[in-house]
């Protein structure tokens, strides 16, 4: 059995923790597994290196940043390999390049283009435990590239795909994916299994556990992913392809996204192309629009609402001012949040949305905007009720049971 394990920054945060990881890897080895272990930089290390660069300029060249930041992961890979060797295990540390990872040229946010797993496979054949520095590759010119923050998860999933590994285990300080954030609802339960699509929808909940791009890649490559803790022996959560019995569960989780601001446009000229103009302009300004809702027009005008990250609201206002002649009135609210109910069971069951609306109504929480997808219902509400709404929904769908 070939397993790719990935240990995040907290799991390798100091020498003692690296030793702990070495013990865990050694144990898996004793169980007869072939192992490729991907590591992050020690926690705080990447930020520290960014700080060093910013001492000189706020705008360091991205190519040099990749050279700098990739060093964090190399340190941990080497140390873990040394720790394993000290315990009598045959291990070898590899950089992204040595592991055969080739990316495009987009420094600090590169995409993996191909992986040649031969060197890893040869080392495995020789009985070695392969340790790979995460978060990095090289472009076709041979320059070091990095994959964007949190990119070691992506390295692990991509390597699991290239090696055709049986599974990919992502270790952090959290022991899996929960029905909601346990800091908001202490009755939150760890999920045993969840589909890729649900995981992607729950990303704001799971962002600290799994990087989004890595889940997308796992879905594409059909890599069986486990989210586990390096500090316990708990089972973790399996993220995998959707199966029929997953649909028996109506709702898998509820999520709160506090980083939302609402823009409402009243009396927008109801003519072809207006939405294209507004949203193209927002896109040009790199403003990420989340929810969009438009009404059926009456008397040549319509209402249009959308949400943006709170940090973008001033920019969004500026863009909207350019449409003054096309819009009667604008209204902004930064104090909103988005609560979402996620579950593949919604595909085959009715009444899921109605239940959410009733639960919020029973608590006198006004819903300002609603949007749905096949497996998600999202509602924009007053920010001060966000946590209450999460607890209310968690209970309404009996997620604590």
Listed ranges 82-90, 146-154, 290-298, 326-334: which one lies at the site for Mg ion (CB under 5 A): 146-154
Shorter beta-carbon distance to ligand ASP: residue 81 or 136: 136
- Candidates 39, 20, 315, 319; CA nearest to 153 is 39
Is there binding between residue 40 and ligand ASP (CB under 6 A)?
Answer: yes
* Residues, the chain: 401
Tokens 């952090």, located at residue: 172
**Residue 150 within binding range of ligand ASP, rule CB under 6 A:** yes
Q: Convert 16-55 to b/e letters by CB count within 10 Å (16 or more is b).
A: ebbbbbbebbbebbeeebbbbbbbbbbbebbeebeeebee
Minimum Å gap between C-beta 123 and Mg ion is 25
Q: Which stretch binds ligand ASP (CB under 6 A): 145-153, 224-232, 288-296, 382-390?
A: 145-153
Based on the shown chain and the rule CB under 5 A, indicate whether residue 206 belongs to the binding site for Mg ion. Answer: no
Dist CA 220 CA 230 (whole Å): 26
Shortest distance, CB of residue 134 to ligand ASP, whole angstroms? 6
Q: Which stretch binds ligand ASP (CB under 6 A): 38-46, 58-66, 121-129, 312-320?
A: 38-46
Q: Is 151 in the site for ligand ASP (CB under 6 A)?
A: yes
Q: Cβ of residue 92: shortest distance to ligand ASP, in angstroms?
A: 21
Q: Does 96 bind Mg ion (CB under 5 A)?
A: no
Sites for ligand ASP among residues 221-260 (CB under 6 A) = none
Helix 313-321 and helix 274-284, axial crossing angle in degrees, nearest 10: 130
Q: Pick from 134, 137, 176, 345 the residue near ligand ASP by CB under 6 A.
A: 134
Figure out which of the listed residues 5, 10, 46, 240 binds ligand ASP, where binding follows CB under 6 A: 46
CA 119 to chain centre: 29
Q: Does 42 bind ligand ASP (CB under 6 A)?
A: no
Determine, following the binding rule CB under 6 A, whether residue 180 of this chain makes contact with ligand ASP: no
317 binds ligand ASP (CB under 6 A): no
Task: Give the containing element (helix H, strand E) for 32.
Answer: none
Decide: is 72 part of the binding site for Mg ion (CB under 5 A): no
Classify strands 253-269 and 327-342 as parallel, antiparallel or unpaired.
antiparallel
Q: How many CB atoms lie within 10 A of CB 127?
A: 10
For β-strands 376-382 and 367-373, DSSP reports them as antiparallel
Find the shortest distance in angstroms from Cβ 310 to ligand ASP: 22
Q: Does 62 bind ligand ASP (CB under 6 A)?
A: no
Four-residue CA torsion sign, 152, 154, 155, 159: positive
By CB under 6 A, tell whether 96 contacts ligand ASP: no
Burial of 81 (0-12, 13-18, 19+ CB in 10 A): buried
**What is the rounded CA–CA span in Å between residue 102 and residue 398?**
46
* Closer residue to Mg ion in complex, CB, 45/383: 45
Q: Which does 151 bind (CB under 5 to 8 A by kind): Mg ion, ligand ASP, none?
A: ligand ASP
Q: What angle do CA 206, 211, 216 make, to 5 degrees?
A: 100
Q: Is 386 in the site for ligand ASP (CB under 6 A)?
A: no
* HSE value, Cβ hemisphere, 13 Å, CA-based, for 226: 20
Taking the complex as a whole, how short is the minimal distance between the CB of residue 255 and ligand ASP, in angstroms? Answer: 22
* From candidates 5, 7, 9, 213, binder to ligand ASP by CB under 6 A: 9
Strand partners, 13: none
Contact residues for ligand ASP, defined by CB under 6 A? 9, 40-41, 46, 72, 134-135, 149-153
Contact residues for Mg ion, defined by CB under 5 A? 8, 40, 150
């Amino acid at each position: 059995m070939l397993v790719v394990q990935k240990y995040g920054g907290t799991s390798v945060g100091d020498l003692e923790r690296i030793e702990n990881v070495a013990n865990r890897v050694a144990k898996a080895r004793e169980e007869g597994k072939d192992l490729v272990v991907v590591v992050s930089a020690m926690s705080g290390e990447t930020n520290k290196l960014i700080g060093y660069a910013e001492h000189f300029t706020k705008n360091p060249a991205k190519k040099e940043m990749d050279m700098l930041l990739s060093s964090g992961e190399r340190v941990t890979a080497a140390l873990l390999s040394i720790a394993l060797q000290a315990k009598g295990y045959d291990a070898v540390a590899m950089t992204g390049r040595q592991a055969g990872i080739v990316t495009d040229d987009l420094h600090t946010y590169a995409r993996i283009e191909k992986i040649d797993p031969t060197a890893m496979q040869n080392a495995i054949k020789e009985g070695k435990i392969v340790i790979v520095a995460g978060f990095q590759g090289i472009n076709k010119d041979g320059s070091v590239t990095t994959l964007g923050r949190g990119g070691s998860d992506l390295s692990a999933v991509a390597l699991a795909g290239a090696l055709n590994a049986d599974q990919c285990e992502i270790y952090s300080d959290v022991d899996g994916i929960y029905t909601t954030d346990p800091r908001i609802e202490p009755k939150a339960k760890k999920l045993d299994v969840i589909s890729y699509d649900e995981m992607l929808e729950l990303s704001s909940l799971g962002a600290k556990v799994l990087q989004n791009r890595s889940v997308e890649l796992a879905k594409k490559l059909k890599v069986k992913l486990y989210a586990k803790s390096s500090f316990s022996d708990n089972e973790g959560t399996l993220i995998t392809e959707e199966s029929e019995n997953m649909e028996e569960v109506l709702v898998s989780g509820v999520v709160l996204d506090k980083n939302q601001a609402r823009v409402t446009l009243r009396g927008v000229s109801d003519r072809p192309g207006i939405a294209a103009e507004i949203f193209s302009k927002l896109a040009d300004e790199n403003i990420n629009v989340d929810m969009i809702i438009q009404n059926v027009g009456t008397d040549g005008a319509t209402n249009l609402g959308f949400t943006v990250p709170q940090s973008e609201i001033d920019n969004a206002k500026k863009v909207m001012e350019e449409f003054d002649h096309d819009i009667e009135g604008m209204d902004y609210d930064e104090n909103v949040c988005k609560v979402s109910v996620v579950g593949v069971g919604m595909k085959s069951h009715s009444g899921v949305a109605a239940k959410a609306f009733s639960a919020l109504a029973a608590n006198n929480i006004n819903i300002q905007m609603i949007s749905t997808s096949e497996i998600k219902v999202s509602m924009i509400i007053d920010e001060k009720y966000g946590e209450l709404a999460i607890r209310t929904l968690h209970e309404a769908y009996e997620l604590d049971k």
